[in-house]
């Protein structure tokens, strides 16, 4: 059976089927359920696929990257592929769980995906998060300040993400859906079109879904309610997610230094000298314990 010419974009991937849309088509183009065989592999949300005339996946095009999280046993579970940016949303309420930002920023760094921070609910008392946000800003991450309720700052965010494919992540209740409704005026129509095609209810799906932004980009949401954790890895991999450590850790006495109690540790010296933030270093110690424990489980 001949392949259909242009690649299709997977906007929602389920275990036995996926929903895709033709990539080079206008915003009116329809969604189609596509099937796949074990041999071709399971597509992820964000994958580009080639289909045959029976709407079966014949080929998953090579992925630029994959974002995911740790699940039981320290395993890595993919969430979406081919992302330009992770948007990590926080708000003063609900109070961010400890190390949430460090975890997300580390995951994005390890998986080689740029990330930006979005502070929502700027109408509330947000001073509590300023110190955290400043540290991540000093590491080179852009911080957007928005109020999804009033729309303040949303235009700037829209301009910042442009026509990219972004994944919006953050704790339940921070305002992801509210912001998505601001950025995507027809979000409700897109969501119900998706559930019409899949026959799944709007609120039952836990898979990541891509929605079309008015400026041509895509925004992924993650309706599944889960605590974000890292997966099993060693100190060398985790350190990729602490990008400011690298220029200094090359001076540690041991090449496989975990920056805990090793003699001649340049990172601990850096903390004492103030070139490494103690806030980041304490997070390092906790996250290293977490990912090593997952590896041992
Ligand atoms: N005060 C305030 N509340 C907001 C803002 N954005 C969202 N909320 C509220 O936060 C709650 C959770 O919002 P929702 O978009 O469902 O969060 P999600 O779980 O991340 O999708 C709702 O009650 C929203 O009305 C905001 O900018 N300011
Ligand atoms: Mg939501
Ligand atoms: Zn060290």
Q: At what angle do helices 154-161 and 176-183 cross, to 10 degrees?
A: 80
Using a cut of 0.85, tell me whether the model's pTM lies above it.
Answer: yes
For residue 130, how far is its CA from the centre of ligand 1 (angstroms)? 19
Q: Assess whether the C-beta atom of 282 lies below 6 angstroms from ligand 1.
A: no
Neighbours of ion ligand 2 (CB under 5 A): 176-177
How many Å lie between the centroid of ligand 1 and the Cα of residue 183?
14
Least confident of 186-195, 236-245, 257-266, 272-281: 186-195
Pocket perturbation via mutation, ligand 1, pick of 118, 178, 226 by most ligand atoms within 8 A of CB: 178
The 10 Å Cβ neighbour count of residue 124 is 13
| pLDDT digits 0-9 by tens, 71-103 | 999 999 999 999 999 999 999 999 999 999 999
Domains of the chain: 8-60 (no CATH), 66-221 (3.40.50.300), 235-296 (1.10.40.50)
Least confident span in 41-55, 91-105, 129-143, 187-201: 187-201
Atom of ligand 1 nearest to the CA of 180: 15
Distances (CA, A) of 24 to 7, 9, 53, 80, 208: 8, 9, 17, 20, 22
120 lines ligand 1 (CB under 6 A): yes
DSSP 47-92: -EEEEBTTSBEEEEPPPS-EEEEE-GGG-EEEEEES-SEEEEEEES
Q: Is 148 in the pocket of ligand 1 (CB under 6 A)?
A: yes
Model confidence pLDDT, tens digit, residues 246-260? 999 999 999 999 999
Mean pLDDT, the chain, integer: 92
Q: Is the pLDDT of residue 28 over 60?
A: no
The least confident of 206-210, 273-277, 289-293 is 206-210
Q: What is the mean pLDDT of residues 39-56?
A: 95
Identify the residue whose C-alpha is closest to ligand 1 atom 8: 175
Integer angstrom CA distances of residue 71 from 90, 228, 235:
22, 9, 19
> Is the minimum distance from the CB of 147 to ligand 1 under 6 angstroms?
yes
- In angstroms, the CA 150 to CA 182 distance is 9
Q: Is 151 in the pocket of ligand 1 (CB under 6 A)?
A: no
Q: How many CB atoms lie within 10 A of CB 113?
A: 20
Ligand 1 atom nearest to CA at 124: 1
Please tell me the chain's helix, strand, coil percentages from 3-state DSSP, rounded to the nearest 5: 30, 25, 45
Chain Cα centroid distance, residue 188: 22
Does the CB atom of residue 137 touch ligand 1 within 6 A?
Answer: no
pLDDT at residue number 237: 96
């Amino acid at each position: 059976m001949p392949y259909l010419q242009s690649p299709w974009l997977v906007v929602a991937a389920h275990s036995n089927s996926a929903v895709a849309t033709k990539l080079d088509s206008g915003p009116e183009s329809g969604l189609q359920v596509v099937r796949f065989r074990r041999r071709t592999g399971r597509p992820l949300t964000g994958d580009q696929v080639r289909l045959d005339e029976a709407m079966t996946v014949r080929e998953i095009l090579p992925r630029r990257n994959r974002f995911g999280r740790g699940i039981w046993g320290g395993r890595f579970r993919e969430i979406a592929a081919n992302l330009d940016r992770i948007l990590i949303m926080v708000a003063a309420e609900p109070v961010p769980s400890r190390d949430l930002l460090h975890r997300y920023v580390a995951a994005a760094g390890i998986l080689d995906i740029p990330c930006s921070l979005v502070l929502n609910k700027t109408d509330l008392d947000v001073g509590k998060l300023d110190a955290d946000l400043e540290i991540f800003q000093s590491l080179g991450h852009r911080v957007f300040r928005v109020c999804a309720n009033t729309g303040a700052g949303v235009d700037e965010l829209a301009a910042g993400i442009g026509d990219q494919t972004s994944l919006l992540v953050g704790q339940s209740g921070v305002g992801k859906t509210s912001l998505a409704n601001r950025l995507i005026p027809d979000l409700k129509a897109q969501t119900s079109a998706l559930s019409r095609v899949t026959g799944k209810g709007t609120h039952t799906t836990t898979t990541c879904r891509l929605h079309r932004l008015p400026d041509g980009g895509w925004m992924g949401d993650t309706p599944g309610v889960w605590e974000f954790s890292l997966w099993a890895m060693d100190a060398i991999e985790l350190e990729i997610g602490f990008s400011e450590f690298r220029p200094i850790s090359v001076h540690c006495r041991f090449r496989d230094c975990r920056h805990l109690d090793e003699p001649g540790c340049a990172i601990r010296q850096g903390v004492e000298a103030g070139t490494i933030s103690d806030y980041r270093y304490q997070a390092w110690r906790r996250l290293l314990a977490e990912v090593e424990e997952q590896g041992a489980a």
